[in-house]
Chains A and B, each alone.
Chain A
Amino acid sequence: MKSTLLESVRIVDLTTREGWDCGRFLASLGAEVIRVDLPGADTGEDWSIGQADKHCVAIDYEGDGLPLLRELIAGSAMVIESFTPGHMDELGLGHEALLAANPRLVTVSITPFGQTGPYANLLGSELVVSAMSGSLSMSGYPDRAPVKEAGDALFYHAAMVAAAGGMAALRHARLTGEGQQVDVSAQEVAQIRNTISSMQYQFDKNERGRIGIMMDSGRGPTRGIWDLKEGHAVASLMAPGSPGQKAAAMWMKEEGFPNPIEGVEANPFRPDPELVAKWLPALSDFLETREREEVIEKALTIDTGILPVNEPRHLLDDEHLADRGFLQKREGDGPSVFPEFFVKTDKMDQTRVNLPGAPVAVSSLADIAAIASEGEVR
């Protein structure tokens, strides 16, 4: 299912792996995204997944195909790229050069450290950017090395920021006729996740660190991850007297487990350490006897605020995500499930997400138009 919000917008996508999700997201909002690869590029299943709902063509833009690509971009609203700064200029595709043929053009550039500055040309993978942004130092256990977060979290985040910045620039271009470059640094994007640290450091000279299974929303560490009979759960708002604590205590009572602070009046905003010391071990002992399904049921029925830590496999059978139409089964080659959208709107059509095969070699705009108008993405 795609939204139809951007159906009049053509976007050219030249990104490397780090930027694929930007065009994929905009395609899910209805943009006509023309994905351009060099002939012979590696286009396996990973590549296909990254190009979902895009129209994929091969153009030798490092050689004879450059005029065709420039012509394609001249008739497009936006080009997205994630090369090392300066590479687009070397190709003859720098933003200023492209503006001559298309003054309204928006060039969206996604890089590890941005287009300018002393580190602009450093090599930056997901792990390296995570290190330099300050986020890696906050993940893991204090007695071990920092540990990266799952997947390519930072570049995905940067791709979403790039989509938003690109759309703002696109609106400005439509209203004023002025194109511009949108410059996204994954390092900066990752930094804004660490606001409490940047505030605590400025005012209190406090430097937060890694706290493993604990969490800290600014008022000191509290336990975040708990053991279940099998697997784990998250429960963060468990201070004595809080609604979550009261609901959990009710559940414990139903199951015949003792509540060591039953009947005690407590202020959750000023937790009494003695009450906390009695309550948390009792909750821990209780949760270790509980199953994942019970945890979900109690979250829904008495609002415990406790939820299981899902494994990826659990999402395959997730009734909620299926009910919303998010994760859907597919027939044919390739993955047998796939997400249908990034954001749900009331302007969605019923076409299923398409995963393209290898890009088609093209030699004219007419070839590209034919591929884009096939209705079904190749």
Chain B
Amino acid sequence: MSDSKLPLAGVKVMDFSWAVVGNTCAKMLGDLGADMLKIENPGRASLERMSRPVKNVPVAPPNDNPWFANLATSKFSLTLDMRNPASREVVDAIIDWADLVLENFSPGTMDKLGVGWDALRARKPSIIMASGSIFGQTGPLGSLGGSEVSGSAWSGRVFMTGEADRPPNLPGLTYGDSVTPFLLATAVIAALENRDRTGEGCRIDAAMVEALGQQMLPYILEAQHRRDAGEDERLPRTGNRSPRMSPHGVFPASGEDMWIAIAVETDAQFASLCQMMDRPELARDERFATLAARKANEDELEAIVADYTRVRDRYDTMMELQAAGVPAGAVQHIADVMDRDPQIAHRRHFRPVEHKVIGTFDHERTPVELTKTPGRMFPAPGLGEHTEMICREMLGFSAGDFERLREQGVFGKVD
């Protein structure tokens, strides 16, 4: 099963991932070559199997969900009813096989299932256990479940996103769910390296609120500075503006809901922007000649820039400003990204993968290019698709033992 041309070839993962944090981490490990053994309870399969955000697909639950298919590439599926005591025989065999146990249940769930950290390391001291959660495995809030929104709200990130005259807004896409998996994956590979060096296992506890707390660090430190100085420690939302750049905003372009982002960091870039706007005199105007002056007169400046952009095509403006050395980008919608962006196409970010139920459709690749070991994507498994293969070929159960376990109801009932 292992392919030595893949960077994580030979790494064996007992994957209990149930939602986006775990499944995104698992996708990366699998796409880069790890042997991923995904364990699902047929009565409570992965969240992305059960949620149905896409309508126009063949109806064949639980294997008809493109969201799951996109996230669950490069792994094998085994169903297991862990409430059935007879399942322990299989669980122990998987622990003996695995280098890593990955999970993102609410804290405490793995203990209840008999596969908590103490049980795992008692059976196999070199095992690595990696958990992703919202608040972490310990602490006063450690017992709380939650979601992407809970972690983002707790970290201060939601509060600081938006404009001062309106409530904060929720970006309509994930962030904590998408960032935390890569902290988890980094720590997992670091732990594998440490294990190979020392023989020791490792317990990894990645909390979304801490992953996001690091990203929010400048705001946290600013609040502390203000507190230390006896100033008002409440920070305002600042929309698209930046303390380090001006103009720094999103300006209208021709067409409905069309916009262009412009981010001017230096006076030279501002002079180029003025040239392109056919207003070269503004670069010398005392209201705008320096960053401090531009910040002081930002409303007026933004109105001037908007007058320039609103009658122009967003891509024309982007390419002309870029050619003049001004950072600018068209605000792309998903259709633009998927159908129109030559960079995304060149990098083959979306790659067709044939799925047994859904057919061939574009999957997002794990977004990292390793030049010598570029990774893989094979289709997401159906629920329990590989149960027999895993037990027989990967875990070494005989045909008779497998039948016995099946008759004991160890693998649950898959409709």
* A→B interface (CB under 8 Å): 3-6, 8-9, 21, 25-26, 29-30, 46, 49, 113-120, 122-141, 144-153, 156-157, 160-165, 167-172, 174, 176, 178-185, 187-189, 191-204, 207-219, 224-225, 227, 232-234, 236-237, 299-300, 303, 305, 307-316, 319-321, 323-324, 326-327, 335-339, 341-347
17 A-B pairs within 8 Å (CB atoms) are namely A8-B197, A29-B187, A122-B322, A123-B322, A131-B332, A136-B261, A139-B161, A180-B372, A192-B364, A197-B173, A210-B172, A213-B169, A225-B170, A305-B145, A305-B150, A320-B140, A327-B213
Inter-chain contacts of B186 with A (CB < 8 A): 25-26, 29, 160, 163-164, 167, 343
A5 partner residues in chain B, CB cutoff 8 A: 187, 190-191, 193-194, 202
Question: Top 7 A-B pairs ranked by shortest CB distance?
Answer: A218-B53, A150-B160, A165-B368, A117-B346, A172-B7, A131-B261, A128-B329
Tell me the bound Cα distance from A311 to B215 in angstroms. Answer: 14
Closest CB-CB distance, A197 to chain B, in whole Å? 4
Give the shortest distance, in Å, between A33 (CB) and chain B (any CB).
Answer: 13
CB of B235 closer than 8 Å to a CB of A: yes
Query: Which residues of chain B are within 8 angstroms of A336 by Cβ–Cβ distance?
Result: 224, 228
With the chains together, A298 CA to B192 CA distance in Å? 40
Indicate whether A300 sits within 8 Å of B337 (C-beta atoms), given known contacts A118-B346, A149-B157, A161-B182: no
Taking a contact as CB atoms closer than 8 A, the residue among B170, B185, B260, B346 that contacts A116 in the complex is B346
Nearest chain B CB to A318's CB is how many angstroms away? 8
CA distance A5 to B327 in the complex (A): 39
B325 close to chain A: CB less than 8 A: yes
B175, chain A: closest CB distance, angstroms: 6
Known contacts A215-B149, A312-B223: does B215 contact A225 (CB below 8 Å)? no
In the complex formed, the residue of B with least CB distance to A184 is B368
User: Which residues of B are found within 8 Å of A309, using beta-carbon distances?
Assistant: 153, 158-159, 168
* Nearest residue, chain A, Cβ from B326: A123
Total A-B residue contacts, Cβ distance less than 8 Å: 491
In the bound complex, do residue B156 and residue A312 qualify as a contact, i.e. CB atoms below 8 Å apart?
yes
Q: Is B139 an interface position by the 8 A CB rule?
A: yes
| 0 or 1 for each of B305-329: is its CB under 8 Å from A? (1 = yes) | 0000000000000000010011111
Q: Are A227 and B263 in contact, with the CB atoms below 8 A?
A: no
A5 CB to nearest B CB, Å: 4
Interface of B is mostly: mixed
Taking each of B71, B171, B202, which has the highest tally of chain A beta carbons within 10 Å of its own beta carbon?
A: B171
What residues of chain A lie closer than 8 Å to B145, measured between beta carbons? 303, 305
CA distance A120 to B333 in the complex (A): 20
In the complex, chain A residues whose CB is within 8 Å of the CB of B150: 234, 305, 307
Q: Is B383 part of the contact surface with A, judged by Cβ < 8 Å?
A: no
A324 to B133, CA, bound (A): 14
In the complex, the answer to whether B54 meets A193 with C-beta atoms within 8 Å is no
Which residues of chain A come closer than 8 Å to B4, judged between CB atoms? 176
Q: What is the 8 Å Cβ interface bit string for chain B, positions 6-26, against chain A (1 contact, 0 not)?
A: 011000000000000000100
Contact A323 B240 (CB under 8 A): no
